[in-house]
Amino acid sequence: MNQMSIEFGVGKELRAARLKAELKITDIAEELNLTVEHITAIEKDNYQELPGNTYVVGFVRSYARYLGLNDVHMVDRLMQSGLIPSLQPTKPAVESEEKVTTPSDKKMIIRLLAGSAAVIALVLIFFTVKNLPDDTENLSVIEEDVVVPEEDAAASAELEAVADESAEVEETKGLTADEVAAMLEPKNEAVTEKVEKEIKLVGTKPYGARVLLTAKEDAWYQVYNPKTDRVFQNAVLKKGHSVWIHPEDGVLMDLGRPHMMEITIDGKEYGAAGPTWGGVIKRLSTDANFLIFDFFGEGLNEKSYNRWKRKQEELNAAE
């Protein structure tokens, strides 16, 4: 990282353009559906404070477009700046010369080590809890198999006992129809109420929209039309929030954490966009019929997980 890239970074130019347009950070954050902290980090070129390198390019591109700057040029400068290690261009091998470790290099090494430790921890957590949903499903099936027959048997026994008792009483003094009905009425029956899930909606519902995206955890998403080069949304969807997908033909979406994104179509929940961990789904069609019959109907969302699983098994076997 050289001093020139820091002094004349992309973030500095974006900030200068915003100030020239007399815009406030809060206004920009609201328009782009980003946080004030994210905008501030971009303007200071502190990209380490953003959720991840996957989101950095999208954030900068959206910010540049909003300010009327050349987003392609800005993204290219960002990738060439060296401020984001994973986006640095490949450099040719240099002669073997001893390099003095600078404080900046030490900080970068510390950040990389911390990031690696976080990734390893997440992998361990993932493998620990991956089977929990299956266990829950099996448990629910067992409970249904055992509990339901017991309730039916108990109810039948109670009805038979009441019937026998009512028959004995009728022989002596007789009962009215209302009294018999009251005796047969189940007591202390639990009443369950269906409570609609509270939806924290981001924005409004476009006319004709059928697809609703809901985040189980904070996750980046982008909705766009490559034919018209129009971007409808490019932001981090907060945990518990939902957003309607624009129903225009040819609209695609990119999902940064598909396993944390649940898709609802015409009011019916179809589940997560993909069970993969750490993957990114790109150019996914938002057509409701495609999602229903192909993506979920044919299990395309599961295939991405299977590819990832096979790759992990190959790596484990190689070790």
| 139 shares its domain with 237 | no
User: What are φ and ψ of residue 6, in 5° steps?
Assistant: -75, -45
Distances (CA, A) of 107 to 1, 110, 112, 114: 12, 5, 9, 11
pLDDT at 252: 94
| 220 shares its domain with 179 | no
pLDDT at residue 275 greater than cutoff 70? no
| 204 shares its domain with 314 | yes
pLDDT at 131: 54
pLDDT at 53: 67
| 251 shares its domain with 313 | yes
| 64 shares its domain with 142 | no
Q: Does some domain include residue 118?
A: no
| 51 shares its domain with 16 | yes
Do 211 and 291 form a contact (C-beta atoms < 8 A)? yes
Q: Does some domain include residue 174?
A: yes
What's the pLDDT band for 12 if we cut at 50, 70, 90? confident
Distances (CA, A) of 191 to 186, 187, 188, 194: 12, 11, 9, 10
Q: Tell me the pLDDT tens digit for each residue of 46-55.
A: 887 777 666 7
Q: What whole-number percentage of the chain has pLDDT above 90?
A: 16
pLDDT at residue 175 greater than cutoff 60? no
| 212 shares its domain with 163 | no
Q: Does some domain include residue 148?
A: yes
Q: Does some domain include residue 192?
A: no
| 208 shares its domain with 297 | yes
> How many domains in the chain?
3
| 209 shares its domain with 290 | yes
Do 20 and 13 form a contact (C-beta atoms < 8 A)? no
Q: Report the phi/psi class of residue 111: left, alpha or beta, with left for phi > 0 and alpha for psi in -120 to 50.
A: alpha
Residue 61: domain span: 3-87
pLDDT at 160: 58
β-strand partners of 219 = 237
Last residue of a domain, one of 87, 120, 142: 87
Tokens of 49: 């404070």
Q: Tell me the pLDDT tens digit for each residue of 55-72.
A: 788 888 888 888 888 889
Q: Does some domain include residue 109?
A: no
Radius of gyration of the chain (CA): 29
pLDDT at 164: 56
Q: Does some domain include residue 233?
A: yes
Q: How many residues does the chain have?
A: 319
**pLDDT higher for 213 or 132?**
213
| 155 shares its domain with 62 | no
Q: Does some domain include residue 166?
A: yes
| 258 shares its domain with 224 | yes
Q: Does some domain include residue 99?
A: no
| 152 shares its domain with 212 | no
Indicate whether this model's pTM tops 0.85. no
